[in-house]
Structure 1
Amino acid sequence: MDEIAVALPESTTTPVGDASVGQAKIEWVRRHSPVLNGFVRETLADGALAGVRIAVVVHLEAKTAFLATVLADAGAEVIVAGSNPRTTNGDVVEALRAQGLTVVAEPDGDYDSWERELLAAADYAPDYIIDDGAELTMRMAQFRPELYQRLQGVSEETTTGTSRLHAMSAAGKLPFKTLTANDARCKHLFDNKFGTGQTTVQALLNLTNRQIAGARVVVVGYGFVGRGIAQYAQAMGARTFVIEIDPVRALEAHMDGHTIGAAKDVLPTATMVVTATGGMRAIGEADFPYLRDDVVLANAGHHDLEVDVDALAAASTLTTEPRTNIVTYRLGDRDIHVLSGGALVNIAGGSGHPVEIMDLTFAVQGLGIHYLATTDLADGVHIIPKHLDDAIAAAKLASLGVTLDEVRPEQEDDSADWLEGIPSA
């Protein structure tokens, strides 16, 4: 591996958390991650990642930390940063540092400090990135072009980041191979739907201490994340509504039992609104007139800007903080409550995805980096191959004590027989 001289940032000397508490959190994840701690560890033990420098840039809490330790145990040089300034856990940061990993993130930061942290991660000249939202990838392209050109690959976590990678590839600005981990079946079918669905509703209720049965919950966006949120809210007795601009997804939401409508039609009676588009300003200034008094706004998409908090603050006459992680904005005679500053509510206002879900997601990421490092792929965006996806699912089932039947000979399709009787063209 070619070396490059870089100016490394100075590490912090003041602890910002309790390493022993953080280690206990990581150990809890290990206990409930049979795929990552078993099948993935065994695969990575072939030495392919020894000496490889990997930047892990995902919401920095215990589950991300365990992924980082698995990579480090495989011999990789791991640099850890956060993908959002509001979701870095100080105890976990100190636990990773105590284990000898390089961490360039601190808790309780703002967007300026987060930008500096991302560039600090870039300055370690990673060979590969496990990214979230393509946040580090984009910044390296813009601010560290020489190091960007040296990148060997990226494995991307999110729908938003996947869209960004495709845009970069289409523009001829992606000079290396990438994997969209988000498009792996063992990621989006479980993480996006069941993980975000469950934990978003949990965080919303825990932060507000409000009742969901009978509530009118509007979900903005009906991708896999929106599906999960609407499904969990509906199962808990909410009346569920969906705002969606894609006609096929809107029809799917209708078939799933949700009421479909435009913002002007469904927002005026909503008691809770959750954005899940992966885009910008899903609830913006144009939507404010439709919001009723006492409505709760939460974001479950990638961008903190899915709820335009800055515009809401500019339009308000008074702001108060009635509960932890809730800011109330006064618009005329209406109070609008925003959870977790518009950041991802299930992480900034909760504990993030269930461990069992992230065991699958981070298995995809761990095997994805190994696949990138051991496979000759063309530059551009790729999906993890089916056999690896299947292997992850099989390992998860095995951990549950489940074995599957195989197709018996008499169940095979007879196409081979009748194809022999068809004349060649």
Structure 2
Amino acid sequence: MEAIASRYRCDSLDREQFLDRSLVLDYLESRVGGRDVVLLDIGGYFAPTLRYVTGRFSGHILGVVEDTENGYQKYVAAGKPPCPVVSVARSPLKLPEDYLVGQSIVFSTESLLRLHGDILHGGETCVIGYGKIGRSVANTLRAKSVRTTVYETDPVRAVEAMSHGFSVSGSKAAALRRAHLVVCATGQRALVGDDFARLRPGAYVASVTSSDDELDLTNVVLSYEERILGPHVTRLSAGGHYFYLLNHGNAVNFVHGATVGPFIFLVQREILAAV
């Protein structure tokens, strides 16, 4: 970041800003007004405001290049786009990265549990979502001899998980009641509302992406007492119920840099090709 900032202008932005279409338009006008622009997106930041911005921007938005599956789903949900949206999320060259991301998720989760005086073994883990990263997480856990259950709402993926030898739960509530660790890998709010109250007391919750994408913490913030136990472990309690949230609900592998080695260059090269 320091090296890049010494040569280019780097602005500190967050997802909340990008929900306000007027702020997005003002930002683009202040940086690249009147110019041809390609937006590079990692997580669907421009999806909610793209139609509004492209119709009013003084320049020309040539298109968007999206890097993640989570972001891809946001653009699909937004309907027909006003400009081309090219995604590398489902490219075959993305598979090595996704596989290694799953491994890094398990590494960081296990590291945080050990710092908290706990281990993966001896309890049951529930992986919610059997997409590319969820599949990698589940397989990495199994390779470590950790009992793993998969909960998946897509029937095809559920059958796939079953064919790969995993126990597949038809009930999220039942899976949550048994799990010592819950890994959320859907990108579409894996845990919402009463799901948190159904967690086994003392369970750990880890996410593979941003907390606002994977977890609906609205009621948790209002009804649970929060206590920071360490740099990346938070205890949330209400009455006699409590659970632990890793890395504040954000991608747990970011704690250790989320490094996937030179495989990331394959994806970055595809992004450049898309541009």
Q: What SS class does the counterpart of residue 319 from structure 1 fall into?
A: strand
Partner of 1:217: 125
- Structure 2 matches for 1:7-406, cutoff 5 A? 92=1, 94-98=2-6, 100-105=7-12, 112=16, 122-123=28-29, 124-125=31-32, 127-142=37-52, 145-147=55-57, 150-168=60-78, 171-172=79-80, 174-187=81-94, 189-192=95-98, 194-209=99-114, 210-261=118-169, 262-280=171-189, 282-302=190-210, 304-316=212-224, 318-347=225-254, 349-369=255-275
Residue-by-residue CA offset, 1:185-205 (whole Å, 9 max, x unaligned): 101x2222x122111111112
The CA distance in 2 between the partners of 1:114 and 1:208, in whole Å, is: 34
Deviation at 1:299, TM superposition (A): 1.0
Deviation at 1:132, TM superposition (A): 1.4
Q: What SS class does the counterpart of residue 136 from structure 1 fall into?
A: coil
Given that residues 122 and 136 in structure 1 are in contact (C-alpha distance below 8 angstroms), is that contact kept between their aligned partners in structure 2?
A: no
In the superposition, the TM-score normalised over structure 1's length comes to 0.57
CA gap of 1:327–1:114, structure 2 versus 1, over 3 A, is: farther
Aligned length: 265
Unaligned stretches of 5+ residues in structure 2: none
Deviation at 1:212, TM superposition (A): 2.0
- Which range moves more in the overlay, 149-158 or 245-254? 149-158
Deviation at 1:302, TM superposition (A): 5.0
Given that residues 191 and 353 in structure 1 are in contact (C-alpha distance below 8 angstroms), is that contact kept between their aligned partners in structure 2?
A: no
- Which range moves more in the overlay, 117-126 or 242-251? 117-126
Given that residues 127 and 185 in structure 2 are in contact (C-alpha distance below 8 angstroms), is that contact kept between their aligned partners in structure 1?
A: yes
- % of aligned pairs identical? 23
Deviation at 1:235, TM superposition (A): 0.8
Residue 104 of structure 1 aligns to which amino acid in structure 2? D
Unaligned stretches of 5+ residues in structure 1: 1-91, 370-425
The CA distance in 1 between the partners of 2:240 and 2:83, in whole Å, is: 54
Structure with the largest fraction of strand? 2
Given that residues 328 and 336 in structure 1 are in contact (C-alpha distance below 8 angstroms), is that contact kept between their aligned partners in structure 2?
A: yes
- Which range moves more in the overlay, 221-230 or 199-208? 199-208
The CA distance in 2 between the partners of 1:160 and 1:268, in whole Å, is: 27
Deviation at 1:357, TM superposition (A): 2.8
The CA distance in 2 between the partners of 1:111 and 1:367, in whole Å, is: 26
The CA distance in 2 between the partners of 1:148 and 1:290, in whole Å, is: 50
CA gap of 1:232–1:115, structure 2 versus 1, over 3 A, is: same
The CA distance in 2 between the partners of 1:213 and 1:265, in whole Å, is: 20
The CA distance in 2 between the partners of 1:142 and 1:365, in whole Å, is: 24
Residue 178 of structure 2 aligns to which amino acid in structure 1? T
The CA distance in 2 between the partners of 1:118 and 1:191, in whole Å, is: 30
Deviation at 1:104, TM superposition (A): 0.9
Given that residues 54 and 61 in structure 2 are in contact (C-alpha distance below 8 angstroms), is that contact kept between their aligned partners in structure 1?
A: no
Residue-by-residue CA offset, 1:25-45 (whole Å, 9 max, x unaligned): xxxxxxxxxxxxxxxxxxxxx
Report which of the two structures shows the higher radius of gyration computed on alpha carbons. Answer: 1
The CA distance in 2 between the partners of 1:120 and 1:353, in whole Å, is: 34
Given that residues 303 and 343 in structure 1 are in contact (C-alpha distance below 8 angstroms), is that contact kept between their aligned partners in structure 2?
A: yes
CA gap of 1:346–1:119, structure 2 versus 1, over 3 A, is: farther
After superposition, the CA RMSD in angstroms is 2.5
